[in-house]
């Protein structure tokens, strides 16, 4: 998931992500266990609890002056034993990006090694186990920071960027379940 746009949740992006994931699910056959259902959900109601991370103290929902879209989303799609869930919450605080980044590096550590995708390690330095998380092509917005923790199937991401005298940050939870993946949706 690339964090290239500061307007992180336009409806078009969410719709395209859903279509892309559906195509991945359809074109990558999976071994279906007992689950033989299909479905989808999209909601603008998402909270830090849904992401699995605490809110930075004193923060409030981000206000995007140019957009009327919600600054949070909770969506998922599943077909048989494969699918995904994506939860995003965008917040703001008057504190510095460095303070917010330090807070979330600590909070993310409960999910394993925290990757700093702002200055990603070279591929030779990254662990190459089948389930190991990597920065891949994920990069922060220009001037921002991006941190990840978890596994390839269950990821927690935090994007942090200066906004005037304060900070805008996004909390992201991504679960992808497919062939050989046992993540719970």
Q: Distance between CA 60 and CA 41 in Å, rounded?
A: 25
Average pLDDT over residues 48-61: 93
- pLDDT (0 to 100) of residue 70: 67
Residue 8's pLDDT band, with cuts at 50, 70 and 90, is very low
Return the bridge partners of 39, or none: 78
Q: What is the number of alpha carbons within 13 Å of residue 42 lying toward its C-beta? A: 11
User: 2-16, 135-149, 151-165: which has the minimum mean pLDDT?
Assistant: 2-16
18-37 pLDDT tens trace: 544 444 444 343 333 345 67
DSSP category for residue 110? G
Model-level pTM? 0.73
Three-state DSSP at 131 gives coil
Q: Are 121 and 78 in contact (CB under 8 A)?
A: no
101-147 pLDDT tens trace: 999 999 999 999 999 999 876 655 555 566 788 888 788 888 899 99
Question: Counting beta carbons within 10 angstroms of the beta carbon of residue 130, is it exposed (0 to 12), middle (13 to 18) or buried (19 or more)?
Answer: exposed
């Amino acid at each position: 998931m690339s964090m290239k746009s500061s307007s992180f949740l336009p409806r078009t992006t969410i719709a395209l992500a859903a279509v892309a994931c559906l195509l991945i699910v359809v074109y990558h056959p999976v071994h279906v266990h007992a689950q033989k259902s299909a479905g989808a959900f999209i909601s603008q109601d998402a909270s830090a609890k849904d992401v699995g991370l605490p809110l930075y103290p004193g923060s409030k929902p981000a206000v995007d002056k140019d957009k009327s879209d919600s600054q949070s989303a909770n969506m998922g799609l599943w077909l048989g034993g494969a699918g995904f869930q994506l939860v995003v919450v965008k917040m703001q605080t008057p504190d510095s990006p460095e303070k917010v980044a330090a807070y979330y590096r600590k909070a993310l550590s409960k999910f394993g090694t925290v990757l700093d995708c702002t200055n990603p390690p070279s591929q030779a330095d990254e662990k190459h186990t089948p389930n190991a998380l990597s920065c891949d092509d994920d990069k922060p917005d220009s001037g921002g920071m991006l941190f990840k923790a978890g596994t390839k199937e269950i990821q927690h991401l935090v994007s942090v960027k200066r906004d005037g005298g304060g900070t805008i940050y996004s909390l992201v939870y991504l679960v992808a379940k497919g062939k050989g993946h046992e993540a719970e949706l």
